[in-house]
């Protein structure tokens, strides 16, 4: 166990969280590992087939923004992957008006380190927006929806409620506006010039607007 300091280039927060490394043998040839701290991954010499960055958003004063930087991808994640390994990370909001907050620069940063990077998105109702992720693979992704369905059928019992081959392939089909932003993005995410997400989802913002204008009672009555 160890401590993780919650700070960034602009602010230092007087708080600490305990870090940990947890492992569990799920089945033969399948081991699940959980790390709460960057250093936990840095100090290990073993490599992994899949690394998933299920992170909090990069917010000013938060603990996770350094896990979106070029140095983290280049010197921690990439050396920790097997030859055919896959890295997946969430990358913030991906809506028409929100995707340039952090998603476009995180995607561009990944492209500086990895050869094949695939952006994807899905609508998150609780966030009232489309949210994005990106994943790296050692070769171009060429599986069709039917091939994905067949692999899912062979690997799980029962039926997925959400994910199938068509859903998976369609998630990486982004709108023209978002694709254009990704192609034109030049910002590289580093510790010294990090971008942060500010505010909340659009539903929360709208609610705050109604409260400030005295219309909240009208909403409740409706």
Please identify every residue annotated as catalytic. Answer: 54
Tokens of 91: 């990358």
Q: 68, exposed or middle or buried, with CB in 10 Å at 0-12, 13-18, 19+?
A: buried
């Amino acid at each position: 166990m160890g401590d993780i300091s919650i700070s960034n280039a602009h602010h230092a927060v007087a708080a600490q969280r305990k870090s940990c490394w947890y492992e569990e043998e799920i089945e033969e040839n399948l081991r699940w590992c959980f790390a709460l701290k960057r250093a936990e991954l840095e100090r290990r010499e073993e490599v992994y087939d899949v690394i998933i960055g299920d992170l909090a958003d990069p917010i000013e004063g938060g603990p996770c923004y350094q896990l979106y930087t070029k140095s983290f991808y280049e010197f921690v994640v990439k050396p920790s992957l097997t030859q055919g390994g896959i890295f997946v990370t969430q990358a913030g909001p991906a809506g028409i008006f929100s995707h340039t907050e952090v998603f476009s620069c995180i995607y561009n940063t990944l492209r500086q380190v990895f050869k094949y990077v695939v952006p994807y998105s899905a609508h998150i109702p609780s966030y009232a927006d489309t949210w994005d992720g990106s994943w790296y693979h050692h070769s171009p992704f060429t599986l069709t929806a039917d091939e994905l369905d067949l692999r899912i059928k062979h690997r799980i019992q029962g039926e997925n409620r959400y994910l199938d081959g068509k859903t998976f392939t369609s998630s990486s089909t982004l709108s023209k506006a978002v694709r254009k932003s990704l192609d034109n993005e030049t910002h590289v995410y580093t510790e010294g010039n990090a971008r942060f997400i500010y505010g909340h989802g659009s539903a929360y913002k709208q609610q705050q607007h109604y409260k400030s204008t005295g219309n909240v009672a009208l909403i409740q009555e409706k």
